[in-house]
Amino acid sequence: MNGSFEFNWQAALDSIPYLLAGVPYTLLISFGGLAIGFVIGMFFGLLRLSSASWLRWPAIVYIEVFRGTPVLVQVLFIFYGLPQLLGGPIDAITAGIAAIAVNSGAYISEVVRGGVQSIERGQREAGLSLGLSRTQTFRYIIWPQGFRRMIPALGNQGIISIKDTSLFAVIGVGELVRQGQIYIATTFRALEVYLMVALLYLAITLTLSLLLRLLERKGLVGQ
Amino acid sequence: MSEQSNKTPDTDTAPIVRMEKLNKHFGSLHVLKDVDLTVTSGEVVVIIGASGSGKSTLIRCINGLEEYQKGHLEVDGKVLKPDGKSSRELQQVRTEVGMVFQQFNLFPHLSVIDNITLAPTKVRHASRAEATKTAHRLLERVGIADQAEKYPSQLSGGQQQRVALARALAMEPRLMLFDEPTSALDPEMIGEVLDAMRELARDGMTMVIVTHEMNFAREVADRVIYIHKGEIVEQGTPEAVFDAPQNERTQSFLSRVLTH
Ligand SMILES: Nc1ncnc2c1ncn2[C@@H]1O[C@H](COP(=O)(O)OP(=O)(O)OP(=O)(O)O)[C@@H](O)[C@H]1O
Ligand SMILES: [Mg+2]
Protein backbone atom coordinates (compact mmCIF):
# COMPACT_ATOMS: atom_id res chain seq x y z
CA MET A 1 0.00 0.00 0.00
CA ASN A 2 0.95 3.66 -0.41
CA GLY A 3 2.10 6.03 2.30
CA SER A 4 -0.42 6.35 5.10
CA PHE A 5 -0.64 10.17 4.71
CA GLU A 6 -2.86 9.63 1.71
CA PHE A 7 -6.61 9.11 1.95
CA ASN A 8 -7.44 5.86 0.25
CA TRP A 9 -10.95 6.00 -1.18
CA GLN A 10 -10.83 2.38 -2.19
CA ALA A 11 -10.12 1.32 1.37
CA ALA A 12 -12.98 3.48 2.60
CA LEU A 13 -15.42 1.95 0.10
CA ASP A 14 -14.19 -1.57 0.81
CA SER A 15 -14.98 -1.18 4.49
CA ILE A 16 -18.61 -0.30 3.93
CA PRO A 17 -20.10 -3.81 3.53
CA TYR A 18 -18.27 -4.88 6.63
CA LEU A 19 -19.46 -1.88 8.62
CA LEU A 20 -23.03 -2.26 7.39
CA ALA A 21 -23.17 -5.60 9.16
CA GLY A 22 -22.95 -3.65 12.41
CA VAL A 23 -25.84 -1.32 11.62
CA PRO A 24 -28.64 -3.77 12.55
CA TYR A 25 -27.09 -4.19 15.99
CA THR A 26 -26.76 -0.47 16.46
CA LEU A 27 -30.42 -0.05 15.51
CA LEU A 28 -31.61 -3.00 17.56
CA ILE A 29 -29.86 -1.83 20.71
CA SER A 30 -30.80 1.82 20.38
CA PHE A 31 -34.44 1.42 19.35
CA GLY A 32 -35.04 -1.60 21.57
CA GLY A 33 -33.56 0.29 24.48
CA LEU A 34 -35.45 3.47 23.66
CA ALA A 35 -38.78 1.65 23.41
CA ILE A 36 -38.30 0.21 26.88
CA GLY A 37 -36.87 3.55 28.03
CA PHE A 38 -40.04 5.27 26.92
CA VAL A 39 -42.20 2.94 29.00
CA ILE A 40 -39.87 3.44 31.97
CA GLY A 41 -39.89 7.19 31.36
CA MET A 42 -43.67 7.36 31.27
CA PHE A 43 -43.89 5.37 34.47
CA PHE A 44 -41.33 7.34 36.47
CA GLY A 45 -42.23 10.65 34.86
CA LEU A 46 -45.81 10.27 36.09
CA LEU A 47 -44.69 9.04 39.50
CA ARG A 48 -42.48 12.09 39.69
CA LEU A 49 -45.62 14.23 39.23
CA SER A 50 -47.54 12.52 42.00
CA SER A 51 -48.61 14.59 44.95
CA ALA A 52 -47.77 11.69 47.27
CA SER A 53 -44.15 11.91 48.34
CA TRP A 54 -43.79 8.16 48.80
CA LEU A 55 -44.51 7.79 45.08
CA ARG A 56 -42.42 10.78 44.07
CA TRP A 57 -39.27 9.77 45.90
CA PRO A 58 -38.54 6.47 44.16
CA ALA A 59 -38.84 8.34 40.88
CA ILE A 60 -36.45 11.06 41.99
CA VAL A 61 -33.91 8.48 43.15
CA TYR A 62 -34.16 6.52 39.91
CA ILE A 63 -33.79 9.63 37.75
CA GLU A 64 -30.83 11.01 39.68
CA VAL A 65 -28.97 7.69 39.79
CA PHE A 66 -29.26 6.83 36.12
CA ARG A 67 -28.84 10.36 34.85
CA GLY A 68 -25.90 10.98 37.14
CA THR A 69 -23.80 7.97 36.15
CA PRO A 70 -22.18 7.34 32.74
CA VAL A 71 -23.92 4.96 30.39
CA LEU A 72 -20.58 3.21 29.91
CA VAL A 73 -20.38 2.41 33.61
CA GLN A 74 -23.99 1.28 33.50
CA VAL A 75 -23.36 -1.18 30.70
CA LEU A 76 -20.18 -2.49 32.33
CA PHE A 77 -22.10 -2.96 35.56
CA ILE A 78 -24.86 -4.85 33.79
CA PHE A 79 -22.59 -6.98 31.59
CA TYR A 80 -19.82 -7.81 34.07
CA GLY A 81 -21.37 -7.01 37.43
CA LEU A 82 -24.91 -8.35 37.34
CA PRO A 83 -23.91 -11.92 36.35
CA GLN A 84 -22.23 -12.17 39.74
CA LEU A 85 -25.60 -11.57 41.32
CA LEU A 86 -27.64 -13.60 38.88
CA GLY A 87 -25.25 -16.50 38.72
CA GLY A 88 -25.25 -16.64 34.93
CA PRO A 89 -23.91 -14.58 32.04
CA ILE A 90 -25.91 -11.88 30.28
CA ASP A 91 -25.41 -11.62 26.56
CA ALA A 92 -23.89 -8.43 25.27
CA ILE A 93 -26.87 -7.32 23.20
CA THR A 94 -29.26 -7.72 26.12
CA ALA A 95 -26.85 -5.79 28.34
CA GLY A 96 -26.68 -3.01 25.72
CA ILE A 97 -30.45 -2.78 25.37
CA ALA A 98 -30.85 -2.73 29.16
CA ALA A 99 -28.26 0.02 29.54
CA ILE A 100 -29.92 2.22 26.93
CA ALA A 101 -33.32 1.50 28.50
CA VAL A 102 -32.42 2.52 32.04
CA ASN A 103 -30.31 5.44 30.91
CA SER A 104 -32.72 6.95 28.38
CA GLY A 105 -35.56 6.09 30.78
CA ALA A 106 -34.14 8.52 33.31
CA TYR A 107 -33.95 11.35 30.81
CA ILE A 108 -37.33 10.51 29.29
CA SER A 109 -38.88 10.63 32.79
CA GLU A 110 -37.90 14.26 32.94
CA VAL A 111 -39.15 14.87 29.41
CA VAL A 112 -42.51 13.33 30.32
CA ARG A 113 -42.73 15.37 33.49
CA GLY A 114 -41.94 18.59 31.64
CA GLY A 115 -44.40 17.84 28.86
CA VAL A 116 -47.24 17.10 31.23
CA GLN A 117 -46.46 20.08 33.43
CA SER A 118 -46.41 22.40 30.44
CA ILE A 119 -50.15 21.94 29.87
CA GLU A 120 -52.06 24.88 31.30
CA ARG A 121 -54.00 24.30 34.49
CA GLY A 122 -57.20 25.37 32.76
CA GLN A 123 -57.14 22.28 30.56
CA ARG A 124 -57.35 19.98 33.55
CA GLU A 125 -60.00 22.15 35.16
CA ALA A 126 -62.08 22.14 32.00
CA GLY A 127 -61.91 18.36 31.83
CA LEU A 128 -62.80 17.86 35.47
CA SER A 129 -65.60 20.41 35.32
CA LEU A 130 -67.19 18.39 32.50
CA GLY A 131 -67.38 15.40 34.81
CA LEU A 132 -64.43 13.49 33.37
CA SER A 133 -62.51 11.53 36.00
CA ARG A 134 -58.92 12.44 36.71
CA THR A 135 -57.76 9.46 34.68
CA GLN A 136 -59.97 10.38 31.73
CA THR A 137 -58.84 13.98 31.92
CA PHE A 138 -55.26 12.81 31.76
CA ARG A 139 -55.82 10.32 28.98
CA TYR A 140 -57.94 12.41 26.62
CA ILE A 141 -56.79 15.94 27.38
CA ILE A 142 -53.44 16.25 29.14
CA TRP A 143 -51.46 13.39 27.61
CA PRO A 144 -52.25 13.98 23.91
CA GLN A 145 -51.23 17.62 24.21
CA GLY A 146 -48.26 16.92 26.45
CA PHE A 147 -46.99 14.19 24.13
CA ARG A 148 -46.89 16.54 21.17
CA ARG A 149 -44.75 18.91 23.16
CA MET A 150 -42.44 16.05 24.13
CA ILE A 151 -41.64 15.04 20.56
CA PRO A 152 -38.63 17.35 20.03
CA ALA A 153 -37.05 16.35 23.34
CA LEU A 154 -37.77 12.66 22.71
CA GLY A 155 -36.11 12.96 19.33
CA ASN A 156 -33.12 14.53 20.95
CA GLN A 157 -32.87 11.67 23.40
CA GLY A 158 -33.19 9.19 20.55
CA ILE A 159 -30.21 10.69 18.78
CA ILE A 160 -28.14 10.74 21.96
CA SER A 161 -28.95 7.10 22.70
CA ILE A 162 -28.07 5.99 19.16
CA LYS A 163 -24.66 7.54 19.59
CA ASP A 164 -24.30 6.08 23.09
CA THR A 165 -24.48 2.57 21.64
CA SER A 166 -21.05 3.19 20.14
CA LEU A 167 -19.63 2.76 23.64
CA PHE A 168 -20.84 -0.81 23.72
CA ALA A 169 -18.00 -1.90 21.49
CA VAL A 170 -16.19 -2.44 24.79
CA ILE A 171 -18.40 -5.35 25.75
CA GLY A 172 -17.99 -6.86 22.30
CA VAL A 173 -21.36 -6.17 20.71
CA GLY A 174 -20.82 -6.33 16.97
CA GLU A 175 -22.25 -2.87 16.38
CA LEU A 176 -20.85 -0.18 14.12
CA VAL A 177 -17.77 0.87 16.07
CA ARG A 178 -16.85 -2.71 16.97
CA GLN A 179 -17.10 -3.73 13.31
CA GLY A 180 -14.89 -0.80 12.43
CA GLN A 181 -12.28 -1.71 15.04
CA ILE A 182 -12.11 -5.29 13.81
CA TYR A 183 -11.75 -4.14 10.22
CA ILE A 184 -9.00 -1.68 11.13
CA ALA A 185 -7.13 -4.40 13.00
CA THR A 186 -6.63 -6.26 9.74
CA THR A 187 -6.33 -3.36 7.26
CA PHE A 188 -4.73 -0.57 9.33
CA ARG A 189 -6.90 2.06 7.59
CA ALA A 190 -8.10 3.92 10.68
CA LEU A 191 -8.66 7.25 8.92
CA GLU A 192 -10.85 5.83 6.16
CA VAL A 193 -12.77 3.40 8.31
CA TYR A 194 -13.56 5.76 11.16
CA LEU A 195 -14.71 8.34 8.65
CA MET A 196 -17.08 5.76 7.20
CA VAL A 197 -18.25 4.82 10.68
CA ALA A 198 -18.97 8.48 11.43
CA LEU A 199 -20.87 8.89 8.15
CA LEU A 200 -23.01 5.86 8.89
CA TYR A 201 -23.96 7.27 12.32
CA LEU A 202 -24.75 10.55 10.64
CA ALA A 203 -26.95 8.77 8.08
CA ILE A 204 -28.92 7.13 10.90
CA THR A 205 -29.32 10.25 13.03
CA LEU A 206 -30.18 12.48 10.07
CA THR A 207 -32.88 10.04 8.99
CA LEU A 208 -34.33 10.18 12.49
CA SER A 209 -34.14 13.99 12.53
CA LEU A 210 -36.01 14.12 9.27
CA LEU A 211 -38.71 11.74 10.44
CA LEU A 212 -39.14 13.79 13.59
CA ARG A 213 -39.48 16.99 11.67
CA LEU A 214 -42.21 15.39 9.59
CA LEU A 215 -43.93 14.16 12.73
CA GLU A 216 -43.71 17.53 14.37
CA ARG A 217 -45.19 19.21 11.36
CA LYS A 218 -48.05 16.72 11.36
CA GLY A 219 -48.47 16.98 15.12
CA LEU A 220 -48.84 20.71 14.86
CA VAL A 221 -51.99 20.45 12.81
CA GLY A 222 -54.91 21.45 14.98
CA GLN A 223 -52.83 22.80 17.82
CA MET B 1 -78.70 30.26 63.73
CA SER B 2 -78.31 30.33 60.00
CA GLU B 3 -80.25 27.12 59.45
CA GLN B 4 -83.37 28.91 60.58
CA SER B 5 -82.79 32.30 59.07
CA ASN B 6 -82.52 31.28 55.41
CA LYS B 7 -84.86 28.34 55.38
CA THR B 8 -86.06 26.95 52.13
CA PRO B 9 -88.78 24.33 51.91
CA ASP B 10 -86.71 21.36 50.82
CA THR B 11 -89.80 19.45 49.79
CA ASP B 12 -90.27 20.29 46.11
CA THR B 13 -87.80 23.05 45.27
CA ALA B 14 -84.70 21.98 47.11
CA PRO B 15 -81.88 24.43 46.41
CA ILE B 16 -79.27 23.39 43.87
CA VAL B 17 -76.54 25.10 45.84
CA ARG B 18 -76.57 25.38 49.59
CA MET B 19 -73.47 26.97 51.02
CA GLU B 20 -73.37 27.74 54.72
CA LYS B 21 -70.67 29.63 56.60
CA LEU B 22 -68.08 28.66 54.03
CA ASN B 23 -64.53 29.67 54.85
CA LYS B 24 -61.57 29.42 52.55
CA HIS B 25 -57.93 30.30 53.08
CA PHE B 26 -55.02 30.45 50.68
CA GLY B 27 -52.27 29.97 53.22
CA SER B 28 -52.61 32.91 55.56
CA LEU B 29 -54.98 34.74 53.22
CA HIS B 30 -58.60 34.45 54.35
CA VAL B 31 -60.35 34.58 50.98
CA LEU B 32 -63.94 33.60 51.81
CA LYS B 33 -65.44 34.53 55.15
CA ASP B 34 -68.60 32.82 56.40
CA VAL B 35 -70.21 32.90 52.98
CA ASP B 36 -73.86 31.81 52.84
CA LEU B 37 -75.26 31.24 49.41
CA THR B 38 -78.40 29.45 48.36
CA VAL B 39 -79.33 29.06 44.71
CA THR B 40 -82.67 27.63 43.77
CA SER B 41 -83.67 25.98 40.54
CA GLY B 42 -84.21 28.40 37.67
CA GLU B 43 -82.55 31.27 39.47
CA VAL B 44 -79.95 33.52 37.83
CA VAL B 45 -77.48 34.85 40.38
CA VAL B 46 -74.88 37.43 39.41
CA ILE B 47 -71.85 38.00 41.61
CA ILE B 48 -70.09 41.33 41.43
CA GLY B 49 -67.16 42.75 43.32
CA ALA B 50 -63.72 44.28 43.00
CA SER B 51 -60.72 42.39 41.67
CA GLY B 52 -59.36 40.01 44.29
CA SER B 53 -62.54 40.04 46.36
CA GLY B 54 -62.96 36.26 45.98
CA LYS B 55 -65.56 35.94 43.22
CA SER B 56 -63.68 33.29 41.27
CA THR B 57 -62.78 31.40 44.40
CA LEU B 58 -66.41 31.35 45.48
CA ILE B 59 -67.74 30.09 42.18
CA ARG B 60 -64.96 27.52 41.87
CA CYS B 61 -65.85 26.08 45.26
CA ILE B 62 -69.26 25.16 43.88
CA ASN B 63 -67.80 22.54 41.53
CA GLY B 64 -64.90 21.60 43.74
CA LEU B 65 -62.13 23.24 41.75
CA GLU B 66 -61.14 24.86 45.02
CA GLU B 67 -61.04 23.20 48.39
CA TYR B 68 -62.34 24.99 51.45
CA GLN B 69 -61.56 24.71 55.14
CA LYS B 70 -64.75 25.26 57.09
CA GLY B 71 -68.47 25.34 56.52
CA HIS B 72 -71.06 23.25 54.73
CA LEU B 73 -71.56 22.88 51.00
CA GLU B 74 -74.25 20.93 49.23
CA VAL B 75 -74.64 20.95 45.47
CA ASP B 76 -77.42 19.16 43.65
CA GLY B 77 -78.29 17.31 46.84
CA LYS B 78 -74.77 16.01 47.42
CA VAL B 79 -72.49 17.11 50.22
CA LEU B 80 -69.10 18.29 49.02
CA LYS B 81 -66.53 17.74 51.73
CA PRO B 82 -63.90 20.44 52.24
CA ASP B 83 -61.06 18.52 50.59
CA GLY B 84 -63.07 15.89 48.73
CA LYS B 85 -60.60 16.12 45.87
CA SER B 86 -61.40 12.93 44.08
CA SER B 87 -64.53 11.71 45.74
CA ARG B 88 -67.24 10.06 43.71
CA GLU B 89 -69.77 12.65 44.85
CA LEU B 90 -67.63 15.41 43.48
CA GLN B 91 -67.43 13.79 40.06
CA GLN B 92 -71.18 13.24 40.05
CA VAL B 93 -71.74 16.87 40.96
CA ARG B 94 -69.44 17.97 38.17
CA THR B 95 -71.40 16.04 35.57
CA GLU B 96 -74.45 18.07 36.59
CA VAL B 97 -72.72 21.43 36.88
CA GLY B 98 -71.29 23.10 33.79
CA MET B 99 -68.62 25.77 33.84
CA VAL B 100 -67.51 28.44 31.41
CA PHE B 101 -64.10 29.97 32.05
CA GLN B 102 -62.66 33.39 31.34
CA GLN B 103 -59.95 31.83 29.13
CA PHE B 104 -62.39 29.46 27.35
CA ASN B 105 -60.14 26.45 28.06
CA LEU B 106 -61.14 24.66 24.89
CA PHE B 107 -59.12 21.54 24.09
CA PRO B 108 -56.76 22.75 21.34
CA HIS B 109 -55.96 19.27 20.02
CA LEU B 110 -59.61 18.44 19.36
CA SER B 111 -61.93 19.82 16.71
CA VAL B 112 -64.94 21.84 17.81
CA ILE B 113 -67.21 18.84 17.45
CA ASP B 114 -64.83 16.59 19.42
CA ASN B 115 -64.55 19.21 22.15
CA ILE B 116 -68.29 19.01 22.57
CA THR B 117 -68.78 15.25 22.25
CA LEU B 118 -65.88 14.17 24.48
CA ALA B 119 -67.62 14.34 27.85
CA PRO B 120 -71.04 13.05 26.72
CA THR B 121 -69.45 9.97 25.13
CA LYS B 122 -66.95 9.27 27.93
CA VAL B 123 -69.00 10.24 30.97
CA ARG B 124 -72.61 9.76 29.91
CA HIS B 125 -71.73 6.94 27.52
CA ALA B 126 -73.76 8.50 24.75
CA SER B 127 -73.27 6.96 21.33
CA ARG B 128 -71.06 8.85 18.91
CA ALA B 129 -73.99 9.54 16.56
CA GLU B 130 -76.21 10.74 19.34
CA ALA B 131 -73.53 13.01 20.81
CA THR B 132 -72.71 14.45 17.39
CA LYS B 133 -76.35 15.23 16.74
CA THR B 134 -76.65 17.02 20.07
CA ALA B 135 -73.43 18.90 19.40
CA HIS B 136 -74.69 20.20 16.05
CA ARG B 137 -77.95 21.28 17.62
CA LEU B 138 -76.06 23.17 20.35
CA LEU B 139 -73.71 24.80 17.87
CA GLU B 140 -76.72 26.00 15.96
CA ARG B 141 -78.21 27.31 19.16
CA VAL B 142 -75.13 29.40 19.92
CA GLY B 143 -74.95 30.57 16.32
CA ILE B 144 -71.87 28.78 14.95
CA ALA B 145 -73.30 25.74 13.20
CA ASP B 146 -70.77 26.09 10.37
CA GLN B 147 -67.63 25.81 12.55
CA ALA B 148 -68.00 22.20 13.70
CA GLU B 149 -64.95 20.77 11.92
CA LYS B 150 -62.56 23.58 12.78
CA TYR B 151 -60.01 23.62 15.56
CA PRO B 152 -60.27 26.14 18.41
CA SER B 153 -57.24 28.11 17.20
CA GLN B 154 -59.07 28.79 13.94
CA LEU B 155 -61.92 30.59 15.70
CA SER B 156 -62.32 34.09 17.08
CA GLY B 157 -62.51 34.59 20.83
CA GLY B 158 -66.25 35.08 20.76
CA GLN B 159 -66.71 31.91 18.74
CA GLN B 160 -64.41 29.98 21.07
CA GLN B 161 -66.39 31.05 24.10
CA ARG B 162 -69.63 30.00 22.43
CA VAL B 163 -68.09 26.59 21.72
CA ALA B 164 -67.14 26.42 25.39
CA LEU B 165 -70.73 27.16 26.27
CA ALA B 166 -71.99 24.48 23.89
CA ARG B 167 -69.46 22.03 25.33
CA ALA B 168 -70.77 22.59 28.85
CA LEU B 169 -74.41 22.43 27.72
CA ALA B 170 -73.82 19.10 25.99
CA MET B 171 -73.74 17.48 29.43
CA GLU B 172 -77.25 18.85 30.05
CA PRO B 173 -76.22 20.45 33.32
CA ARG B 174 -78.68 21.50 35.99
CA LEU B 175 -76.53 24.46 36.92
CA MET B 176 -74.16 26.61 34.89
CA LEU B 177 -71.26 28.55 36.37
CA PHE B 178 -69.69 31.44 34.49
CA ASP B 179 -66.46 33.07 35.64
CA GLU B 180 -66.08 36.37 33.77
CA PRO B 181 -67.00 34.78 30.45
CA THR B 182 -66.49 37.97 28.45
CA SER B 183 -63.45 39.48 30.18
CA ALA B 184 -60.94 38.01 27.74
CA LEU B 185 -62.90 39.08 24.67
CA ASP B 186 -62.44 41.99 22.30
CA PRO B 187 -65.27 44.47 22.86
CA GLU B 188 -66.99 43.70 19.58
CA MET B 189 -67.35 40.03 20.56
CA ILE B 190 -68.81 40.50 24.00
CA GLY B 191 -72.33 40.95 22.66
CA GLU B 192 -72.52 37.60 20.90
CA VAL B 193 -71.54 35.70 24.05
CA LEU B 194 -73.93 37.67 26.25
CA ASP B 195 -76.71 37.01 23.74
CA ALA B 196 -76.16 33.29 24.02
CA MET B 197 -76.21 33.53 27.82
CA ARG B 198 -79.33 35.67 27.76
CA GLU B 199 -81.10 33.03 25.74
CA LEU B 200 -79.99 30.37 28.17
CA ALA B 201 -81.38 32.36 31.07
CA ARG B 202 -84.64 32.82 29.21
CA ASP B 203 -84.87 29.05 28.76
CA GLY B 204 -84.83 28.66 32.52
CA MET B 205 -81.26 27.52 33.15
CA THR B 206 -80.03 27.96 36.70
CA MET B 207 -76.95 30.17 36.48
CA VAL B 208 -74.31 31.66 38.74
CA ILE B 209 -72.41 34.35 36.88
CA VAL B 210 -69.36 36.38 37.84
CA THR B 211 -69.21 39.38 35.55
CA HIS B 212 -68.23 43.01 35.22
CA GLU B 213 -70.97 43.61 32.64
CA MET B 214 -73.33 45.59 34.84
CA ASN B 215 -75.98 46.22 32.20
CA PHE B 216 -76.15 42.54 31.47
CA ALA B 217 -76.35 41.78 35.19
CA ARG B 218 -79.23 44.18 35.64
CA GLU B 219 -81.06 42.63 32.76
CA VAL B 220 -80.75 38.88 33.44
CA ALA B 221 -80.19 38.58 37.18
CA ASP B 222 -82.89 37.52 39.60
CA ARG B 223 -80.46 38.34 42.35
CA VAL B 224 -77.24 40.33 42.50
CA ILE B 225 -74.63 39.61 45.15
CA TYR B 226 -71.93 42.10 46.01
CA ILE B 227 -68.84 40.55 47.57
CA HIS B 228 -66.18 42.58 49.31
CA LYS B 229 -62.93 41.08 50.63
CA GLY B 230 -64.46 37.62 50.80
CA GLU B 231 -67.70 38.65 52.45
CA ILE B 232 -71.15 39.00 50.98
CA VAL B 233 -72.01 42.50 52.09
CA GLU B 234 -75.14 43.04 50.06
CA GLN B 235 -77.57 41.12 47.91
CA GLY B 236 -80.98 41.62 46.40
CA THR B 237 -82.80 42.23 43.15
CA PRO B 238 -80.85 44.13 40.49
CA GLU B 239 -83.03 47.17 41.15
CA ALA B 240 -82.35 47.06 44.86
CA VAL B 241 -78.58 46.59 44.54
CA PHE B 242 -77.92 48.87 41.58
CA ASP B 243 -80.41 51.65 42.25
CA ALA B 244 -80.57 51.77 46.01
CA PRO B 245 -77.53 50.04 47.51
CA GLN B 246 -77.68 50.04 51.30
CA ASN B 247 -74.07 49.29 52.15
CA GLU B 248 -71.57 52.09 51.64
CA ARG B 249 -68.94 49.72 50.21
CA THR B 250 -71.46 48.65 47.57
CA GLN B 251 -72.18 52.29 46.86
CA SER B 252 -68.54 53.17 46.40
CA PHE B 253 -67.89 50.08 44.23
CA LEU B 254 -70.85 50.84 42.00
CA SER B 255 -69.99 54.48 41.67
CA ARG B 256 -66.56 53.41 40.42
CA VAL B 257 -67.71 50.79 37.91
CA LEU B 258 -70.87 52.43 36.66
CA THR B 259 -69.14 55.65 35.64
CA HIS B 260 -67.30 54.06 32.74
N1 LIG C 1 -54.25 29.68 43.89
C2 LIG C 1 -54.13 30.76 44.70
N3 LIG C 1 -53.15 30.81 45.62
C4 LIG C 1 -53.02 31.87 46.44
N5 LIG C 1 -53.83 32.93 46.43
C6 LIG C 1 -54.83 32.94 45.54
C7 LIG C 1 -55.02 31.86 44.62
N8 LIG C 1 -56.08 32.15 43.84
C9 LIG C 1 -56.53 33.35 44.26
N10 LIG C 1 -55.78 33.83 45.27
C11 LIG C 1 -56.00 35.09 45.99
O12 LIG C 1 -57.27 35.05 46.56
C13 LIG C 1 -57.92 36.30 46.45
C14 LIG C 1 -59.24 36.15 45.72
O15 LIG C 1 -58.97 35.75 44.40
P16 LIG C 1 -60.10 35.55 43.31
O17 LIG C 1 -59.44 35.06 42.08
O18 LIG C 1 -61.18 34.73 43.88
O19 LIG C 1 -60.61 37.04 43.11
P20 LIG C 1 -61.64 37.59 42.05
O21 LIG C 1 -62.69 38.31 42.82
O22 LIG C 1 -62.08 36.52 41.14
O23 LIG C 1 -60.76 38.65 41.27
P24 LIG C 1 -60.76 39.04 39.71
O25 LIG C 1 -61.89 39.99 39.49
O26 LIG C 1 -59.44 39.71 39.53
O27 LIG C 1 -60.89 37.79 38.92
C28 LIG C 1 -56.94 37.21 45.75
O29 LIG C 1 -56.28 37.97 46.72
C30 LIG C 1 -55.99 36.28 45.07
O31 LIG C 1 -54.72 36.85 44.97
MG1 LIG D 1 -61.76 36.09 39.10
With both helix axes pointing from N to C terminus, report the angle between A190-220 and A9-20 in degrees, rounded to the nearest 10.
60
Q: What is the pTM of this model?
A: 0.89
For testing the chain B interface, which of A130, A134, A140 should be mutated: the one with the most B CBs within 10 Å?
A130
Beta carbons of B196 and B229 less than 8 angstroms apart: no
With both helix axes pointing from N to C terminus, report the angle between B112-122 and B157-169 in degrees, rounded to the nearest 10.
20
* Helix H or strand E segment including A197: helix A190-220
Beta carbons of A191 and A7 less than 8 angstroms apart: yes
Q: Is the dihedral of CA A176, A178, A181, A183 positive or negative?
A: negative
Q: Which residue(s) pair with B24 in the sheet?
A: B32
Beta carbons of A187 and A11 less than 8 angstroms apart: yes
Q: Is A157 exposed, middle or buried (0-12, 13-18, 19+ CB in 10 A)?
A: buried
Cα–Cα distance between A45 and A60 in angstroms, integer?
9
Question: pLDDT value at position B89?
Answer: 87
Nearest to A24 by CA among A173, A189, A186, A206: A173
Strands ordered across the beta sheet of B29-39: B29-39, B17-26, B70-75, B78-79
Q: Is B51 exposed, middle or buried (0-12, 13-18, 19+ CB in 10 A)?
A: exposed
The CA-based dihedral angle spanning residues B246, B206, B106, A114, taken in that order and rounded to the nearest 10 degrees: 70
Helix (H, G, I), strand (E, B) or coil at B124: coil
Distance B14 CA to ligand 1 centre (A): 30
Facing B109 at nearest CB: one of A120, A129, A144: A144
Facing B94 at nearest CB: one of A120, A129, A140: A129
Question: pLDDT value at position B1?
Answer: 39
Pocket of ligand 1 (CB under 6 A): B 26, 29, 31, 49, 51-57
Per-residue confidence in pLDDT tens, chain B, 260 aa: 344 444 444 445 679 999 999 999 999 999 999 999 999 999 999 999 999 999 999 999 999 999 999 999 999 999 998 886 657 889 999 999 999 999 999 999 999 999 999 999 999 999 999 999 999 999 999 999 999 999 999 999 999 999 999 999 999 999 999 999 999 999 999 999 999 999 999 999 999 999 999 999 999 999 999 999 999 999 999 999 999 999 999 999 999 988 75
Atom of ligand 1 nearest to the CA of B230: 14
Candidate of B25, B31, B225 to mutate for ligand 1, largest count of ligand atoms within 8 Å of Cβ = B31
Question: pLDDT value at position A17?
Answer: 95
Facing B122 at nearest CB: one of A125, A128, A132: A132
The verdict on a CB contact (< 8 Å) between B119 and A223 is no
Question: pLDDT value at position B10?
Answer: 44
Cα–Cα distance between B230 and A19 in angstroms, integer?
73
Beta carbons of A46 and A39 less than 8 angstroms apart: no
Residues in chain B closer than 8 A to A145 (CB atoms): 107-109
Distance B54 CA to ligand 2 centre (A): 7
Q: What is the ipTM for the molecules in this complex? A: 0.91
User: For the range A27-32, what are the long-range contacts, defined as Cβ-Cβ under 8 Å and sequence gap of 24 or more?
Assistant: A27/A204, A28/A93, A28/A97, A29/A93, A29/A96, A29/A97, A29/A100, A29/A165, A29/A168, A29/A173, A29/A175, A30/A100, A30/A158, A30/A161, A30/A162, A30/A164, A30/A165, A32/A97, A32/A100, A32/A101
Cα–Cα distance between A131 and B83 in angstroms, integer?
17
Intervals of chain A under pLDDT 70: 1-5, 219-223
Residues of chain B in Cβ contact (below 8 Å) with chain A: 63-65, 86, 91-92, 94-99, 101, 103, 105-111, 118-119, 122-123, 151, 153, 164, 167-168, 171
Residue B98 has phi, psi (to 5 degrees) of -90, 155
Beta carbons of B227 and B46 less than 8 angstroms apart: no
User: What number of residues does chain B have?
Assistant: 260
Read off the amino acid at residue A4.
Answer: S
What is the secondary structure of A160-188 as a DSSP string?
HHHHHGGGGGGGT--SHHHHHHHHHHHH-
Q: What is the pLDDT of residues A88-102, one digit of tens each?
A: 999 999 999 999 999
Cα–Cα distance between B176 and B170 in angstroms, integer?
12
DSSP symbol at A10: H
Number of CB atoms found within 10 A of residue B207's CB: 24
Question: pLDDT value at position B222?
Answer: 96
CA A183, chain centre distance (Å)? 26
User: For the range B132-139, what are the long-range contacts, defined as Cβ-Cβ under 8 Å and sequence gap of 24 or more?
Assistant: B134/B170, B135/B166, B135/B170, B138/B166, B138/B169, B138/B170, B139/B112, B139/B113, B139/B163, B139/B166
Atom of ligand 1 nearest to the CA of B180: 27
Q: How far is A197 from chain B (nearest CA, A)?
A: 41
Cα–Cα distance between A222 and B3 in angstroms, integer?
52
In order of A171, B16, B60, B151, the CA distances from B157 in angstroms are 60, 31, 22, 12
